[in-house]
Amino acid sequence: MDDRAADAGDDHGRSAAVPVRAESAPAPAEFLDAPAADVDERAAFDLPGSGLSRPPRAHEAGSRWRRAEEEGGQDDLSARELLRSGADVGRSRERVRRARVTRLGVMLAAVGGYLWLRVARGHPVHFGLPHVPSGLGPYLLPIGLLVVLGGATLIPILAAGRSPHVLYRPGEIDVRLDDVKGAGVVVEEVVKTLNLFLAHRTFRERMGGNPRRAILFEGPPGTGKTYLAKAMAAEAGVPFLFVSSSAFQSHFYGMTGRKIRSYFRALHKAARAEGGAIGFIEEIDAIGAARSGMGGHGEGISGVVNELLIQLQSFDEPSIPQRLRGRLVDGLNRWLPTSRRIRKRPPAPANVLVIGATNRAADLDPALLRPGRFDRSVGFDLPSRAGRREIIDYYLAKKAHTAELDVESRRDALAGVTHGYTPVMIEHLLDEALVWALRRGAGRLSWGDVQKAKMTEEIGLAQPVEYTEAERRTIATHEAGHATVAWLVGKGRRLEVLSIIKRREALGLLAHSETEERFTKTRSEVVALIQIAFGGMVAEELFFGEAGTGPAGDLDAATRLAAQMVGAYGMAGSLVSLLAAGGPPGANLVAKVLSDETSRAALERILVDAKTVVRRLLDTHRVEVEALRDALLERDELVGEEIGAVLARAQVAEDPAVGEGRSGTEASLTHFLRQRTAADGERTDQPGPADPGPAAPGLI
């Protein structure tokens, strides 16, 4: 690994470990940068006479190891360094190559000797087309047609059981571990697995261990499971056999199992030829679902899973030459006495690593997850804020963008507003931003393009419709009420978009999110979300005397939040969790709460109290609601800082003394903090336990 890649890996932090090694063992310069969790795996390569050659920068690792021993046995090596050419895979590949060259040389020598012998005897070999008797001329065309028809009939039948995989050579894969961003822990675990894979013979023969045969990648779609598997194959320098589980399926009885056998046969063949091979089965739950009863169509689920289990345990199956030699030995042993029989050599194990990927690990058959099969599971989660920032830096380095996006605060803000995004979603967001830049005639994306792309992806395309003047004013007032309440009670929330443009089913919307990435909420914060949901309904009642049908979605969101407070979070007086009643996953909690009179009364009380607080807040802050309403009627949509600017001007207009002697920004900020403190005081009158779970949707 070059210096750049090594330094990038070191940025993820260093961990110390006390190496457990024999006294006479040399420093394992080949197994670089192993973390503390790999003491046993490091010892596998810390053996005298192991023969592992030093990879690049090995002398630095050796000196660092010795320095660590002198300082008390602690090492500060990184966890992202791989064994290279000195590993067993490289030696096996070289051994197979030499054997192949030797066989070719023997064959060419035999052919050359035969040709030389013919020349020496005066009967040289003449090369050319074969001689066809004149009598067969009229029959050549019919014979050719019969051969073509026979091939057209037989080839599809014979090819139906072929392995459906796609073979990628290391040179055909342009992804490396350095390209995998935002998944530091996963990459470290993969490096450990790859080091065992690359030094499988040392681990098996010197330590008596069994290298990992299969690992399972599980996680939501788009989190980089396939991407990382390709990087593993490229880093290991071995063939990569990709296959989708659906490609195994066939409506012919027995054909699915035959394709699975063909795939593993091809995997073993590639491993023997190249020293190792990595197989990747996408969406393995399609063929590895839990068995029940007699299964489904064709062979049934049970038959397919059984075949997969057998193949996962048949890595030591002898190759065809080994089987031929075994039969020859068996034939000779039939004529020999027991004491003089020839001993058969055990088959050489194929160095194969099977990777299964799924986002439904719970549906897999338990037998697939037992030791010796997919016994190591690697979870792919959504990237953290720091991980998203790393991903954003990686992709922006490849895409043309304005200097505005090189500012650290902008990139941090983008990482903050993409909470819940997978790496694929982040890349797609930037691609869509480039499309928006192209539409406006620019050659590079800007912050505004990113905002438009994000709004389009999350909310939908704008669908301008002609509202009546009264309806347009009602929708603007409704959304202004939401925004005002969110500004007053939404502690730690960011107002992103306020719009009266129709998108999908929403006639208008307020998009808001958390300023900090959090995983839990307090009772007061959940109540604040319910109050925000009531902002539109209360604003309509205050300014028009009655509410329309617009708040239907708001009441749905508020009821769901209140039901969670009552039936799941213990925030309404009762500590009984209705989730403990059981039922299928995702059972309707709202129905359980509404079916119980006491719980229903508690839910109703939460909603009524929230609406009462919102009415008092909006009645006091009518100026802010009117300012946002008028801005929406004028511009249709407010984004980000535009919302705060309108509220700031409304504050100054309401209380001119706030802005005396200070700039508008400073005055509005001071008044905003005063209002926020007062609102926080109101919400602190509603104490309760923490941890209400995930946040509610930020679209109102």
Catalytic residue of the set 188, 218, 479, 496: 479
Catalytic status, residue 23: no
Instruction: Calculate the CA 143 to chain-centre distance.
Output: 56
User: Which tokens in the block code for residue 660?
Assistant: 């005396």
- What tokens appear for 609 in the block? 């109290």
Q: How far apart are CA 271 and CA 356, in angstroms?
A: 18
**DSSP state for residue 338 in the 8-state scheme:** G
Give the residue among 484, 652, 247 at the shortest CA–CA distance from 476.
484
Give the residue from 349, 285, 297 showing the smallest Cα distance to 322. 349
- Contact criterion met (CB below 8 Å) for 593 and 603: yes
Whether the CB-CB separation of 65 and 73 falls below 8 Å is answered with no
Bridging pattern class, strands 509-514 and 493-499: antiparallel
**Tokens 């009762």 found at:** 574
How do 352-358 and 277-282 pair as beta strands?
parallel
- DSSP secondary structure of 90-121: HHHHHHHHHHHHHHHHHHHHHHHHHHHHHHHT
What backbone torsions phi and psi does residue 667 show, to the nearest 5 degrees? -65, -45
User: Cα–Cα distance between 477 and 300 in angstroms, integer?
Assistant: 59
In order, the DSSP letters of 635-662 are: HSEEETHHHHHHHHHHHHHH-GGGGTTS
Q: To which H or E segment does residue 513 belong?
A: strand 509-514
665-671: long-range contacts, CB 8 A cutoff, minimum separation 24: 668/644
- Give the H or E element holding residue 354: strand 352-358
**Cα–Cα distance, 697 to 506 (Å, whole number):** 14
3-state secondary structure 262-292: HHHHHHHHHHHHHCCEEEEEECHHHCCECCC
Give the whole-angstrom CA distance, residue 342 versus residue 258.
Answer: 34
Q: Are residues 215 and 377 in contact, defined by beta-carbon separation less than 8 angstroms?
A: yes
Task: Burial-class residue 102 by CB neighbours within 10 Å (0-12, 13-18, 19+).
Answer: exposed
Among 667, 663, 668, 630, CA closest to 648: 668
Q: Which residues participate in catalysis according to the annotation?
A: 479
